[in-house]
Amino acid sequence: MGTLMGRLMVHELRQASGLLSSNELADNFEVPPQDCESPFLFKQDLPSDEARGVWRKLETRLRSILGNADYKAWLAPLVLTSAGANNVYFVAGNAYARTRIRTEYLHRLQAVWNDFDKSSRRLIVDIEPLSKVPTNHSEVGNPNLETQYPTISRSSNDQSGSNLIIGDFEASESTLNLRTFESFEEGASNKIAIALAKRMANDASNGEILLLHGLNGVGKTHLLAAIANQSLSTQPKRKVVSLTAQRFLNLFQAALRDKDTGPFKEGLRAADILIIDDIQLICGKIATQEEFFQTILELLSRGKNIVCSADVPPEGLVGLTPRMTGILLGGFNIRIGEPDFALRRKIAERKVAEFAALRPDFAPSPQALDIIAARVIGTGRNIEGAVKQIFAASSLIGQEATMEVILEALGDRMPTPTKSIPVDVIKKRVALHFDISIEDLIGTRRHISVARPRQIVMYFCKKFTKRSFPDIASRMGGRDHTTVMHAVKRIEQLADADGNFAAQLQIIANKILT
């Protein structure tokens, strides 16, 4: 069964890319092409009552093994189309459903089937061919087959089926369609990446490599999915191969086990645009990297585009071969950084809008969005998690997302420095924020426009350094240590009582630490 699964996965690429001939397709299902037009259109192998009976008996056992949700989502919609002496054929809703069933459920389905079918016929799952299956072939299964599985939206005049081979990016059409350029917030940390991603999506014939790198959660996978969406939206007949590096590795290893790498290579190299996510997963895999390298060379020679993502730039990928490092460095290497305050606020606003669609009374104020953006440091994923916390806290107590609820949900998210910050750095950043001089900060003026920034400096000196109150006081113009103690207490009181002040304090903290 393992060998069969590997062979089916390898053929997947060629079928989706239109490279598998009718004879090869028939060979895939071990049906001589001269005997029938399609592996699903047998003249004498219509589903027998016995096969239908076995299929019906499996339901209870499969539900207990897989769980009700998985059974309903993946196996219940299968349609038994034909049964012969050696094989039993099922139709899945689309290519993605077929692949998912083959890789995750078919071995279990086969094991349970063998308990009920003493002839141990082999189960084969594929998608319905273009030629029409007789209506009496679909008596078993869910009649609403086309609504059971996610599909990639296509233009109305395209009848060839989806050219997108989905790896592990998405599990549903709705999730995939959410990951577009329109749903990706732009800011200083990602605008170059967005511009190049759009270029790659709109023109797949300029022979370029784009590597997006950055921390987990900055939006690399979102941009890769957006490229695939945009590419197929503008040119539906374009062939887009979109895989994770792990999926690439699995397919290649299956091809090696079967000693038949030809279909795998041809399927990949037929792509107009090849998208591989998380290439750090193939580091240290010499043979896989060599295959990827040759695929890149082939695609570039035909003017096709390659888009990849990784956690770090090529020179930081431990285990990457020199040839792979060199070819990647010859392309665009764009870092997606962590979002700044403005971008974090835009992300928070978008996520709030998404949750508001689920609960209309979920409407944090603009000041609350400022606090979220100021307090939650990190990637867009961190922002999304914070909004989820607020939404959950608000929903559980049945109250509006007031400032009190938000502050309680977020807790103390003031960043902690990895090392002590010099007092002079704190002075400079605070003075720059308030547009005042260092002399004013350590001087004797008591106007609120100077006194409050001075107290903020003392507060951060205590929070971000290991210096004592007397030491801080001596560095703030030779003041008494009780002045510093009072300043720290006063700033803490203001932050607890005033959300806007807390947000401003967070912004200043971010500036000090960056």
Residue-level pLDDT at 419? 64
- Sheet with 305-310, edge to edge strand ranges: 164-166, 240-244, 273-277, 305-310, 209-213, 332-335
Task: Delineate the domains of the chain, giving CATH numbers in brackets.
Answer: 36-143 (3.30.300.180), 164-335 (3.40.50.300), 341-410 (1.10.8.60), 423-513 (1.10.1750.10)
Report the candidate in 166, 133, 134, 136 with the shortest Cα–Cα distance to residue 149: 166
Instruction: Give Cα separations from 223 to 190, 304, 419, 476 (angstroms).
Output: 10, 18, 34, 48
Q: What is the pTM (predicted TM-score) of this model? A: 0.55
Coil, strand, or helix at residue 231? helix
Residue-level pLDDT at 216? 86
Token pair of 357, please? 């669609």
Alpha-carbon Rg for the chain in angstroms: 30
Residue-level pLDDT at 276? 94
Label the pairing between strands 79-83 and 87-92: antiparallel
Coil, strand, or helix at residue 259? coil
Residue-level pLDDT at 418? 55
Residue-level pLDDT at 389? 83
Token pair of 466, please? 């290991």
- Ranges of residues in the chain with a pLDDT under 70 are 1-48, 128-178, 204-205, 396-398, 411-419, 499, 514
Alpha-carbon distance of 280 to 492, in angstroms, equals 44
- DSSP structure class, residue 444: S
Q: E strands, 302-380, where?
A: 305-310, 332-335
Give per-residue burial for 406-430: e unless 16+ CB within 10 Å, then b.
bbebbeeebbeeeeebebeebbbbb
Half-sphere exposure of 142 (CA within 13 A, CB side): 16
State which amino acid sits at residue 359. R
Alpha-carbon distance of 370 to 507, in angstroms, equals 9
Angle at 424 between CA 419 and CA 425, to 5 degrees: 55
